[in-house]
Amino acid sequence: MDAFYASVEQRDKPELKGKPVAVGGSRSRGVVAAASYEARKFGVRSAMPSVTAFRRCPDIIFVKPRFEVYKEVSHVIRNIFFEYTDLVEPLSLDEAYLDVTNNKIGLPSATLIAEEIRKKIFESTKLTCSAGISINKFLAKTASDINKPNGLKLIKPDEAVSFIEKLKVKDFFGVGQVTAEKMKRMGIHNGLDLKNKSLGFLSKNFGKSGVYYYNICRGIDDREVNPNRIRKSVSIENTYDNDLSEYEDVLAELQTLSKALEKRLSNNQVKGKTVNIKIKYADFEQVTRSKTSQVWLSKHEDYESLWIEMMKNRQLTEKPIRLLGLGLSNLNTEEKDNQGFQLTLEF
């Protein structure tokens, strides 16, 4: 979806149309969850501190997120996907991989399917989306970003290698800003530069990710579209308008997060064994702590003793705190075997 949260807000609030909008945060606190394309022209991006967004775009309008609305719209979109294939792998509320090789309506063209889906989404939600079409996840994901907003990009099988060789490493899915800068210092600017590096070199300098980089610059990505992706953790966090400076206030906020986490665990029908605390200080330093139980945890009464134990370390609250997060990982989810097969599909 194109600037999903912000686009929903502009759709539902006509006075926001054509204006720079940031979902989440405020002029003085918080983090941008999503930015409209009007705001992006000023360099505003998701995960950016709100104060930075305001500095870059003084006319920006901050609106509170309405996640229940976004979930409802996402449900409508997901149902459209299922009209064409059951092999839908959601990445988030606004993005998914679809394997349409053996599609339900028997269309021989992936491009035609993408066009139909985009049309139906707009008719149902009045929102635009962009699609990437290719032979594997890496190329499809990369293609989906090329003609945004409201665009479509096809990378044919015989175009894949030349496309990747010309692609800047900063535009590779899975290569973040820090890694892109590191590659640049090594003289790696595009896919061809990356391809000229040996597996040993990439593994030595980038660890386990080196194998991934070695494969994708050659167009190799054998990951199947998995409709049964495992949830690895459930968490909740809050950014505060005023920094938390008192130990008792921090504990009180964790109590609130603890109860909200219980509701989220119940909604997702999961339990976990590892309690995780996330703390971001006023100076943006971030720390995490975790503690594991021998039994499954799902009620706030079950896991409160664990985070209370961790918070006995008063050093964690020696500096003012701007954000607190609480979560459970090591969940009781099990991956289901996914059998797949390859057919031929025209692009």
Q: State the catalytic residues.
A: 95
Question: Structure tokens of 273?
Answer: 């064994």
Q: What phi-psi label fits residue 285: left (phi over 0), alpha (psi between -120 and 50 degrees) or beta?
A: beta
66 exposure class (CB count in 10 Å sphere: 0-12, 13-18, 19+): middle
DSSP-assigned states of every residue in 96-165: EEE--TT-TT--SBHHHHHHHHHHHHHHHHS----EEE-SSHHHHHHHHTTT-SS-EEE--GGGHHHHHH
* Beta-sheet pairing, 61-63 with 21-23: parallel
> Tokens representing 13?
């609030």
Distance CA 152, CA 124 (A): 19
**What CA–CA distance (Å, rounded) separates 196 from 185?**
15
Is the previous residue joined to 65 through a cis bond, with omega within 30 degrees of 0?
no
